[in-house]
Amino acid sequence: MSSHHQILQIRSDPFVLSHCCRHTRLTSSLTLQSPLKQPFSCLPFRWRRSYRGGVRSSTTETHGSKKEALVSETATTSIELKRVYPFHEIEPKWQRYWEDNRIFRTPDDVDTSKPKFYVLDMFPYPSGAGLHVGHPLGYTATDILARLRRMQGYNVLHPMGWDAFGLPAEQYAIETGTHPKTTTLKNIDRFRLQLKSLGFSYDWDRELSTTEPDYYKWTQWIFLQLYKRGLAYQAEVPVNWCPALGTVLANEEVVDGVSERGGHPVIRKPMRQWMLKITAYADRLLEDLDELEWPESIKEMQRNWIGRSEGAELNFSILDGEGRETDKEITVYTTRPDILFGATYMVVAPEHQLLSYFVTAEQKQQVEEYKDFASRKSDLERTELQKDKTGVFTGCYAKNPANGDAIPIWVADYVLASYGTGAIMAVPAHDTRDNEFALKYNIPIKWVVRNEANSSDDAKQVYPGLGIIENSSSLETGLDINQLSSKEAALKVIEWAERTGNGKKKVNYKLRDWLFARQRYWGEPIPILILDESGETIAISESELPLTLPELNDFTPTGTGEPPLSKAVSWVNTVDPSTGKPAKRETSTMPQWAGSCWYYLRFMDPKNPEALVDKEKEKYWSPVDVYVGGAEHAVLHLLYSRFWHKVLYDIGVVSTKEPFKCVINQGIILGEVQYTAWKDQEGNYVSADTEERLNEHQQVTIPEEKVIKSGDHFVLKEDPSIRLIPRVYKMSKSRGNVVNPDDVVLEYGADSLRLYEMFMGPFRDSKTWNTSGIEGVHRFLARTWRLVIGLPQSDGSFKDGTLVTDDEPTLEQLRTLHKCIAKVTEEIESTRFNTGISGMMEFVNAAYKWNNQPRGIIEPFVLLLSPYAPHMAEELWSRLGHPNSLAYESFPKANPDYLKNTTIVLPVQINGKTRGTIEVEEGCSEDDAFVLASQDDKLRKYLDGQSIKKRIYVPGKILNVILDRTNVKVTTK
Ligand code: ANZ
């Protein structure tokens, strides 16, 4: 046990409801007024709900005797009052205690002979809106794991920090003039306070923010290592340029051709930008996925994003006006070299570099217009979203290298400049896109793969599958692949192309290099100088780091594409220290992804001024054992940080190939179910199932209390013939369905919120918020409290101490406890937090039937409860007489002796008539049951000396013995 835990003095003030006067007032008003007169709208939802239903089941309890009873509405509300336990006193008290005593601090010099557990949340962007109920879902799960492992004797690293650079603070600065730093610090303070109010066991001594120079010094340092290894470079690339925001946007910040923020139009514009060569790591990023304990869906998303494909690059000579070969070639990338003979035209991207060389004079204007038209579309619009293919003939032809045929070259925007070679061979018989295009523009179609399964009717349909090759031989080139399978043919074409200089085998990736510069202020400065004279880029020396952001008052974009930092003239203009030559600083900043690429490493050693992370510490703590966050980070964040980690591995900064051993995505929390009804012009309801033209009617939202379930449907309570449509939406401000965790904490307490979020459903699934669900877990906590502490006194306060006795536990009590221990432990370890709670609920239900609450049972149960509801558990633990926090107590272990099957009473029939019972183990075999029956005093007389015809045995239910009638003695009297 850690000695730094101080003795805690329990101050057991009476449970005063003053803070909760709102409840007192409302409750008493409920008891005074008739339900119909009560204006529902002025009541908090919880009270409105407990008001519904008329009569409800409740538990009345007296010490020693407890029974379920049906009580009237008036009685319910007054019992409701007594149900509450003093969470509003307990919670702040324990939060203060944990903080004052730094209970969850992970010391710098942990005993490394002990096992470690590093459990991490994807750290939040501290937005102005504060926490939403989605945050605590993941944070509670990791907290439960952290608390469990601490109690199991692990050294636990469970830190929290802020991913605090980014656009919102900068836009707020532009609107209000408030410096992004001010806004960020304020938001961080709020987030920290909110997180602390939920009782998470973070080691706050390790808190970090990506915006602190001590932190971004090392982000810049990593950039320099990338630069030195040629992995950071500048290139002229078409970028998403948003004129209204005056900035370049990342692909993921552009949705359907407009900026995600603000919805401004975005165009493609070539610009000189910093790029990171993530493509150099494509193969390793792909291969190493196999070893990770990640959800298969994320691994698959990463594989698709990396998009490795194998194929060939093939060269097509450009022909001149007379059909003669020129010395210029167009190289295409294809995954189907087997169908080269079927290539009846070619397509180049509008940006293709050779286009202006071969376009004919007659076609030039049309091609130019088309290029302009295409430049206004995003890649997505050009490919996935584009329904109708467009293109223009260039007037020029190329030679199909397989058979020497002259095929037309088209320009079309369904071919992207950024993939492969920016040119394709088009095979309209076997590719759907090419087929649509050829049909539209009347281009010949040539089938070269036999589709064995196809009837003759479909023979002229596009066939994208593999098969046996036909129509594919040429005397001119000597290539013959007829009758080969697609696979064999592809190999033969590649081998032929390599031999004849017509092409080569090629592996391609969808993954692009990472555009690593933003024309923004609120980001890490890129530590590079550009010499005035030569334009050469020079890395600033590592000893000069951090290169801090200069102060600026005007954050508005320059509008020219020059970043706002260019306004910090005295910061920008500098000299190269090694040569004294005048130079300018790079004014683009890093993207928001940068700081989050490596923060998990800094948490291991957050204050080290000498190194990004101390080698020994890194060796001990790496990798992160469990990493929890939203599925929206399945690709970019996880891929970028894996990339940086691998670079750091190559240069010896980290000891593992991968940063995160296990990743778990929590599901999203959707808003409460909303019920929609429709009304016709006269204002009469229209049932959702009877009317086809529902959308012509007026939609109305029906409050939950006016809805009932009828079969599989929801209907109006007042008129069950009217069917409603239930819908769930993402929580959003505009829909007004956002639940604020602060409100929940105020009304039910942090333990209830934690428990509810875990109880809502399987951790990884999406779930809908439902306020009555919180009431359920809140009642469970209150029941647990009363089980240990007893009922409140007449003034509502609770007595000091507990009801616990020093009696020896009975076998039944031990069995109930150990079953609960086994269940809770197993469920937490398998991240099935919801069923872990059910296990505890079963325990409490069973315990209510006992006449005593022995210490030997209740103490372990309190420890079991503690990862989920730490405040209540600490309070109970302390009342049970323990001076120290339970955070480092040993987590109870299930004793297998108590998990064995229990005995049951089995009825025994003789010839179909029940003649007695025997006590057997639940899983008892037929033979054993029969032996026990024949030894039983009562049954023996029926069985002794009888021959048995057959036995019918239903385990756990019955044993029926059928006697052989021929041997039955008939007694005549
Ligand atoms: C002819 C062909 C026929 C193709 C066929 C496929 C099927 P993956 O697997 O995604 O790598 N392609 C190549 N470069 C392109 C570009 N810049 N823009 C648009 N499409 C491009 O896809 C490779 C295939 O996508 C290539 O193989 C090429 O079309 C097309 F029945 O060549 B294929």
- Is 466 touching ligand 1 by the criterion CB < 6 Å? no
* pLDDT at residue number 958: 93
**Quick check: 624 pLDDT over 60?**
yes
Rounded to whole angstroms, the Cα distance separating 73 from 359 reads 85
CA angle 589, 592, 597 (to 5 degrees): 110
Segment 800-812 mean pLDDT: 94
624-629 and 116-121: which strand pairing? Answer: parallel
955 — pLDDT class (breaks 50, 70, 90): confident
Choose which residue among 419, 425, 437 to substitute to test ligand 1 binding: the one with the highest number of ligand atoms within 8 A of its C-beta: 419
* pLDDT at residue number 916: 92
d(CA 102, ligand 1 centre) in Å: 59
Residue 438 vs residue 972, higher pLDDT: 438
| Residues 932/943, Cβ–Cβ less than 8 Å | no
- Is 416 touching ligand 1 by the criterion CB < 6 Å? yes
- Is 419 touching ligand 1 by the criterion CB < 6 Å? yes
**Quick check: 251 pLDDT over 90?**
no
Which residue's CA lies nearest to atom 28 of ligand 1? 334
Q: Which residues pair with 299 in a beta bridge?
A: none
**Quick check: 214 pLDDT over 50?**
yes
Rounded to whole angstroms, the Cα distance separating 263 from 60 reads 58
Rounded to whole angstroms, the Cα distance separating 850 from 229 reads 70
Residue 454 vs residue 509, higher pLDDT: 509
- Is 342 touching ligand 1 by the criterion CB < 6 Å? no
Q: What are the start-end ranges of the H helices in 17-166?
A: 21-32, 45-51, 73-83, 87-100, 134-151
| Residues 638/660, Cβ–Cβ less than 8 Å | yes
**Quick check: 534 pLDDT over 60?**
yes
Report the half-sphere exposure of 909 (CA within 13 A, side-chain side). Answer: 14
Report the half-sphere exposure of 695 (CA within 13 A, side-chain side). Answer: 0
d(CA 528, ligand 1 centre) in Å: 39
d(CA 311, ligand 1 centre) in Å: 9
String of DSSP letters for 413-447? TTS-TTSTTSEEEE-TTT-HHHHHHHHHHT-----
4 — pLDDT class (breaks 50, 70, 90): very low
Residue 381 vs residue 197, higher pLDDT: 197
- Which of ligand 1's atoms lies nearest the C-alpha of 464? 31
Residue 900 vs residue 58, higher pLDDT: 900
Tell me the pTM: 0.80
| Residues 377/346, Cβ–Cβ less than 8 Å | no
172 — pLDDT class (breaks 50, 70, 90): confident
Report the half-sphere exposure of 799 (CA within 13 A, side-chain side). Answer: 13
**Quick check: 175 pLDDT over 90?**
no
Residues of the chain with pLDDT > 90, as a percent, come to: 67
51 — pLDDT class (breaks 50, 70, 90): very low
What are the φ/ψ torsions at residue 495 (nearest 5 degrees)? Answer: -60, -45
Per-residue CA distances from 180 to 176, 463, 904 (Å): 10, 57, 69
- Tell me if residue 43 falls in helix, strand or coil: coil
Strand order across the beta sheet in which 155-157 lies: 155-157, 116-121, 624-629, 660-665
As a dihedral over the C-alpha atoms of residue 640, residue 645, residue 648, residue 649, rounded to 10 degrees, the angle is -140
- Is 331 touching ligand 1 by the criterion CB < 6 Å? no
Per-residue CA distances from 490 to 332, 480, 496 (Å): 15, 12, 10
Residue 129 vs residue 120, higher pLDDT: 120
**Quick check: 156 pLDDT over 80?**
yes
Residue 520 vs residue 629, higher pLDDT: 629
d(CA 845, ligand 1 centre) in Å: 63
- Contacts (Cβ under 8 Å, ≥6 apart) of 511: 278, 279, 282, 285, 305, 306, 307
Rounded to whole angstroms, the Cα distance separating 442 from 542 reads 62
Determine whether 157 is exposed, middle or buried from the number of CB atoms within 10 Å of its CB (0-12, 13-18, 19+): buried
624-629 and 660-665: which strand pairing? Answer: parallel
Which residue's CA lies nearest to atom 10 of ligand 1? 309
Q: Tokens 């183990």 appear where?
A: 921
Segment 698-726 mean pLDDT: 89
| Residues 912/927, Cβ–Cβ less than 8 Å | no
Choose which residue among 305, 347, 383, 424 to substitute to test ligand 1 binding: the one with the highest number of ligand atoms within 8 A of its C-beta: 424
Rounded to whole angstroms, the Cα distance separating 666 from 138 reads 6
* pLDDT at residue number 65: 36
* pLDDT at residue number 559: 73
| Residues 277/513, Cβ–Cβ less than 8 Å | yes
Which residue's CA lies nearest to atom 9 of ligand 1? 309
- Is 792 touching ligand 1 by the criterion CB < 6 Å? no
Q: What are the start-end ranges of the H helices in 243-378?
A: 282-287, 296-306, 355-358, 364-375
Which residue's CA lies nearest to atom 7 of ligand 1? 431
Residues of the chain with pLDDT > 70, as a percent, come to: 88
**Quick check: 381 pLDDT over 80?**
no
Residues in the chain: 973
Q: What are the start-end ranges of the H helices in 760-800?
A: 771-789
- Tell me if residue 336 falls in helix, strand or coil: coil
Segment 839-851 mean pLDDT: 96
Lowest average pLDDT, out of 37-41, 100-104, 195-199, goes to 37-41
**Quick check: 17 pLDDT over 60?**
no
* pLDDT at residue number 967: 52
53 — pLDDT class (breaks 50, 70, 90): very low
Q: What DSSP designation does 815 have?
A: H
Residue 191 vs residue 52, higher pLDDT: 191
- CA 432 to chain CA centroid, nearest Å: 35
- Is 508 touching ligand 1 by the criterion CB < 6 Å? yes
**Quick check: 44 pLDDT over 80?**
no
Cβ neighbours, 10 Å, residue 806: 8
Give the residue from 590, 664, 576 showing the smallest Cα distance to 626.
Answer: 664
What amino acid occupies position 28? S
- Is 386 touching ligand 1 by the criterion CB < 6 Å? no
d(CA 674, ligand 1 centre) in Å: 45
230 — pLDDT class (breaks 50, 70, 90): very high
- Contacts (Cβ under 8 Å, ≥6 apart) of 884: 1, 2, 5, 7, 8
- Contacts (Cβ under 8 Å, ≥6 apart) of 475: none
Query: How many helical (H) and strand (E) elements, i.e. helices and strands, does the chain have?
Result: 28, 39
| Residues 726/673, Cβ–Cβ less than 8 Å | yes
Rounded to whole angstroms, the Cα distance separating 621 from 614 reads 11
- Is 506 touching ligand 1 by the criterion CB < 6 Å? no
- Contacts (Cβ under 8 Å, ≥6 apart) of 41: none
Q: Tokens 């401004």 appear where?
A: 264
819 — pLDDT class (breaks 50, 70, 90): very high
* pLDDT at residue number 10: 27
Long-range CB pairs of 211-215, under 8 A, 24+ apart, other chains included: 211/162, 211/164, 211/165, 211/181, 211/184, 211/522, 211/595, 213/546, 213/548, 214/546, 214/607, 214/609, 215/595, 215/599, 215/602
250 — pLDDT class (breaks 50, 70, 90): low
Read off the pLDDT of residues 311-356 as tens digits, 9 standing for 90 and up.
Answer: 999 999 999 999 999 999 999 999 999 999 999 999 999 999 999 9
- Is 872 touching ligand 1 by the criterion CB < 6 Å? no
Over the chain, what is the mean pLDDT?
87
Rounded to whole angstroms, the Cα distance separating 465 from 463 reads 6
Give the residue from 638, 623, 642 showing the smallest Cα distance to 118.
Answer: 623
Q: What DSSP designation does 971 have?
A: P
Rounded to whole angstroms, the Cα distance separating 206 from 620 reads 17
Instruction: For residue 546, say if its preceding peptide bond is cis, omega within 30 degrees of 0.
Output: yes
Residue 694 vs residue 578, higher pLDDT: 578
**Quick check: 456 pLDDT over 90?**
no
* pLDDT at residue number 129: 87
Which residue's CA lies nearest to atom 20 of ligand 1? 415
Which residue's CA lies nearest to atom 33 of ligand 1? 334
What amino acid occupies position 565? L
- In angstroms and rounded to an integer, the radius of gyration of the C-alpha atoms of the chain is 36
Largest CA distance in the chain: 130
Give the residue from 844, 845, 860 showing the smallest Cα distance to 809.
Answer: 860
**Quick check: 252 pLDDT over 80?**
no
**Quick check: 627 pLDDT over 70?**
yes
Tokens of 102: 């730094």
Element (H, E) at 161: strand 161-162
- Contacts (Cβ under 8 Å, ≥6 apart) of 778: 748, 749, 752, 756
* pLDDT at residue number 242: 86
**Quick check: 972 pLDDT over 60?**
no
Rounded to whole angstroms, the Cα distance separating 818 from 736 reads 45
Lowest average pLDDT, out of 117-121, 199-203, 388-392, 525-529, goes to 388-392
| Residues 449/465, Cβ–Cβ less than 8 Å | yes
Tokens of 571: 């910061």
**Quick check: 901 pLDDT over 90?**
no
